[in-house]
Amino acid sequence: MISMKKGIGASEGIGIGYILKLEEPILNIPNSPVENAHDEFIRFQNIVNIFIEKTLAMANILKMQTGEKEAEILEGHVAIIQDPSIIDGVKEKIEEGLCAEQALSNVCQTFIDIFSATKDPLTMERITDIEDVKTRMLKLLMGIEEVSLAALPQNTILVAKDFTPSMTVGLSKKHVIGILTELGGYTSHSAILARSLGIPAVLNIKDLLQETKNGQEAILDGESGIVFLSPDAATKAQYQQEQQTFLENKKSLQTYKGKPTCTKDGVTVDLLCNIGSLKDAKDALDCDGEGIGLFRTEFLFMERNSLPTEEEQFEAYKEVAKIFGNKPITIRTLDIGGDKEIPYLNLEKEENPFLGYRAIRICLSQTDLFRTQLRSILRASAYGNIQILLPFITSLEELRAAKEIIEETKRELSEKNIPFKKDIPIGVMIETPAATLISHLFAKESDFFSIGTNDLIQYTIAVDRGNTQISNLYTPYHPAVLRAISHIITCAKKEGIPVCMCGEAAADPQLIPLLLSYGLDKFSVGPNSVLNTRKIIAKWDKKNADSLATQVSALTTTDEIKKLLTLH
Ligand code: PEP
Ligand code: MG
């Protein structure tokens, strides 16, 4: 029977297809004793061969998608399962009468215990790899099918608790036409990933896993957040029509490709892109982005087991710089913490991670980490138009301390005659009320601003950007948020520095006229939003944008503001 659910529309588009649930199965390891140890060991060896074949195939896909380094992690897994101490250990246990599953589990556990006892961070990092190898081997031994995201049937709608960067490996728009999750909000990183893949997504749906079945037909509308399970023929026909209209509109946007980004009365603004990887950078160029307004470098640190080296980072930044030639590339220094975790850094669990040890706070205390990243960014600056963006700055002390470390790093490179851009601009993310209220001071000591509305909204209204229970309160239309944005832009203008917005609000069609009226110079949006943002900007002239902004400034509640903006 048809049922309707509502979540947060996180990536636009209509998806009509069949559900595939991504759930981790509970592994009940059999403990039946074996009668023929020889045959059991042969069974184990056969599965090892299959494991190796599948892992190398996955590594190849990764190599093509993201690069050599990520693939090396999987190649390391092949080395682990071929390690004589694992193979001999399993053989011994099987000869003692254990089945292959028990034998492998025991041997892996012994290694995990030894590694954890060392307390050495590098040795402990290997635990994740052994766990991974163990789980995938056990699934193969027990005949539990692993879902390969690279080989899904067409019209698949993925259903998961959450959508993580690792799930994007091999994921193709050709097969996956929708993503549904129980967790996440519009600005959570799962939403940002879905939008960068251009796959319709609805997040934050209550009891989703419990109420859906594999193979069930479903429809999702990634804009309104509406989902139909087992739709009837009439609903399906209606959404097929809407899908058609959506695709035609998308096609019509192509007329904005190659055009300058300017208002109806000829004021030009920059339309840049937010990226998290080399692949995103290529997408940004394909989608006609005019440069990079935000490179979220923390994604280079995620989904791996150790810190990327200076060389690895240098290569990544240099590649992006080379793609964009003279166009600006804004590289944000590491912004971890909050909802972006890096397990191998072994940071303590915190009661309030969004108010805790994150971003610049980590960089200013673990300066080796910061200096390595700065060296690689500065070295890459010899290959393109790079600027540095500092996240989560809340005081002048932090800004000055970060700038001092940048200066020291520059001196170090100069002494070694390593080339870099001497006058590299240094900008500040304005994403907290503290930074907003002293943005007149920051404007005197920085080269540019970037407004991070994703965080600015959560800190201004005191509403966690990922909390499903209060997601209705998370809005850029709150009068306090709009005043904050307008104030930041005014302060930047007074000091004559450029101001960009890299939060998701920059691509919100209803906010664009207000941002133009406030004087925003640069919009940085996901690659898939470039053409639509250009189209909306072209619709407005100064007179109309200012008139709307004046009307909004007279309103006192979010609802009134939202209502007025929806009319335009
Ligand atoms: C922001 O906070 O608006 C931002 C762009 O950064 P992130 O989403 O990575 O926190
Ligand atoms: Mg932020």
Same domain for 163 and 61, yes or no, is no
pLDDT at 151: 67
What is the atom index within ligand 1 of the atom nearest the CA of 503?
3
pLDDT at 121: 65
Ligand 1 test: best mutation among 455, 485, 504, 511, most atoms within 8 Å of CB?
Answer: 455
pLDDT at 55: 84
Which domain-ending residue is among 117, 142, 167? Answer: 142
In Å, what is the CA distance from 472 to each residue of 5, 43, 189, 465?
16, 54, 18, 10
Same domain for 14 and 41, yes or no, is no
- Answer yes or no: is 494 within a domain: yes
- Answer yes or no: is 29 within a domain: no
| Å from CA of 192 to ligand 1 middle | 10
Residue (of 556, 490, 557) closest to 517 by Cα position: 490
| Å from CA of 455 to ligand 1 middle | 6
**CA separation for the pair 248, 246 (Å, rounded):** 5
**CA separation for the pair 525, 284 (Å, rounded):** 10
502 is catalytic: yes
* Helices then strands, each counted (H, E), the chain: 22, 16
Long-range CB pairs of 458-466, under 8 A, 24+ apart, other chains included: 458/354, 459/431, 459/432, 459/433, 460/433, 460/436, 460/484, 464/354, 465/185, 465/187, 465/188, 465/339, 465/354, 466/183, 466/184, 466/185, 466/188, 466/339
**70 CB within 6 A, ligand 1:** no
The residues near 59 (Cβ < 8 Å, ≥ 6 apart) are: 71, 72, 74, 75
**CA separation for the pair 107, 325 (Å, rounded):** 52
What is the atom index within ligand 1 of the atom nearest the CA of 451?
3
Same domain for 134 and 155, yes or no, is no
Q: For residue 427, give both structure tokens.
A: 């900008």
pLDDT at 319: 95
List the pLDDT tens digit at each of the 568 positions of the chain: 889 999 999 999 999 999 999 877 777 888 778 889 999 999 999 999 988 988 888 777 766 655 565 577 778 889 999 999 999 999 999 999 999 999 999 999 999 888 888 877 667 767 777 888 898 899 889 888 766 676 678 899 999 988 766 566 667 788 899 999 998 888 877 788 788 888 999 999 999 999 999 999 999 999 999 999 999 999 999 999 999 999 999 999 999 999 999 999 999 999 999 999 888 999 999 999 999 999 999 999 987 778 999 999 999 999 999 999 999 999 999 999 887 888 888 888 898 999 999 999 999 999 999 999 999 999 999 999 999 999 999 999 999 999 999 999 999 999 999 999 999 999 999 999 999 999 999 999 999 999 999 999 999 999 998 887 888 899 999 999 999 999 999 999 999 999 999 999 999 999 999 999 999 999 999 999 999 999 999 999 999 999 999 999 999 999 999 999 999 8
Q: Which residues pair with 279 in a beta bridge?
A: none
Angle at 367 between CA 436 and CA 376, to 5 degrees: 90
Q: Tell me the residue range of the domain where 99 lies.
A: 37-142
- Answer yes or no: is 31 within a domain: no
- Answer yes or no: is 387 within a domain: yes
**CA separation for the pair 541, 64 (Å, rounded):** 44
Same domain for 71 and 158, yes or no, is no
Which domain-ending residue is among 252, 278, 313? Answer: 252
pLDDT at 346: 85
Same domain for 286 and 210, yes or no, is no
Which amino acid is located at 523 in the chain?
A: F
Name residue, tokens 């594999």. 214
The 3-state secondary structure of 387-447, one letter per residue? EEEECCCCCHHHHHHHHHHHHHHHHHHHHCCCCCCCCCCEEEEECCHHHHHCHHHHHHHCC
Q: What is the CATH number of the domain that holds 41?
A: 1.10.274.10
The residues near 144 (Cβ < 8 Å, ≥ 6 apart) are: 25, 27, 138
The answer to whether the beta carbons of residues 98 and 108 sit under 8 Å apart is no
Same domain for 338 and 446, yes or no, is yes
Burial class of 27 by CB neighbour count within 10 A (0 to 12, 13 to 18, 19+): middle
pLDDT at 166: 57
- Answer yes or no: is 56 within a domain: yes
Same domain for 179 and 130, yes or no, is no
Which amino acid is located at 314 in the chain?
A: F
Q: Which residues pair with 20 in a beta bridge?
A: 158
pLDDT at 148: 67
**CA separation for the pair 103, 181 (Å, rounded):** 36
Total tally of structural domains belonging to the chain: 3
The answer to whether the beta carbons of residues 80 and 130 sit under 8 Å apart is yes
Give the phi and the psi of residue 209 in degrees, each rounded to 5.
Answer: -65, -35
What is the atom index within ligand 1 of the atom nearest the CA of 504?
3
What is the atom index within ligand 1 of the atom nearest the CA of 455?
2
Name residue, tokens 């301390």. 401
**CA separation for the pair 123, 343 (Å, rounded):** 14
Give the number of the ligand closest to the Cα of residue 188.
1
Which domain-ending residue is among 208, 225, 252? Answer: 252
- Answer yes or no: is 32 within a domain: no
**Dihedral sign, CA of 345, 351, 353, 358?**
negative
Same domain for 11 and 53, yes or no, is no
pLDDT at 85: 93
**CA separation for the pair 104, 98 (Å, rounded):** 9
478 is catalytic: no
Same domain for 349 and 418, yes or no, is yes
Q: For residue 274, give both structure tokens.
A: 């937010």
**502 CB within 6 A, ligand 1:** yes
| Å from CA of 392 to ligand 1 middle | 9
pLDDT at 539: 97
Long-range CB pairs of 489-492, under 8 A, 24+ apart, other chains included: 489/451, 489/518, 489/519, 489/520, 490/518, 490/519, 491/439, 491/440, 491/442, 491/443, 492/439, 492/443, 492/448, 492/449
pLDDT in tens, 203-247: 999 999 999 999 999 999 999 999 999 999 999 999 999 999 999
- Answer yes or no: is 431 within a domain: yes
The bridge status of strand 522-525 relative to strand 499-501 is parallel
Same domain for 193 and 233, yes or no, is yes
| Å from CA of 431 to ligand 2 middle | 6
**Residues constituting the chain:** 568
**CA separation for the pair 90, 454 (Å, rounded):** 50
**458 CB within 6 A, ligand 1:** no
**CA separation for the pair 112, 126 (Å, rounded):** 8
pLDDT in tens, 8-38: 999 999 999 999 998 777 778 887 788 899 9
pLDDT at 67: 56
Give the number of the ligand closest to the Cα of residue 192.
1
Same domain for 345 and 406, yes or no, is yes
Give the number of the ligand closest to the Cα of residue 524.
1
The answer to whether the beta carbons of residues 502 and 187 sit under 8 Å apart is no
**CA separation for the pair 78, 55 (Å, rounded):** 7
Burial class of 405 by CB neighbour count within 10 A (0 to 12, 13 to 18, 19+): middle
Choice among 77, 175, 189, 478 that is catalytic: 189
Nearest C-alpha to atom 8 of ligand 1 is from which residue?
Answer: 454
Q: Which residues pair with 8 in a beta bridge?
A: 203
**455 CB within 6 A, ligand 1:** yes
**CA separation for the pair 568, 566 (Å, rounded):** 5
Nearest C-alpha to atom 7 of ligand 1 is from which residue?
Answer: 454
Name residue, tokens 């954890």. 116
**CA separation for the pair 476, 473 (Å, rounded):** 10
Same domain for 41 and 133, yes or no, is yes
Q: What is the CATH number of the domain that holds 168?
A: 3.50.30.10
542: helix, strand or coil: helix
- Answer yes or no: is 536 within a domain: yes
**12 CB within 6 A, ligand 1:** no
**465 CB within 6 A, ligand 1:** no
Q: What is the CATH number of the domain that holds 422?
A: 3.20.20.60
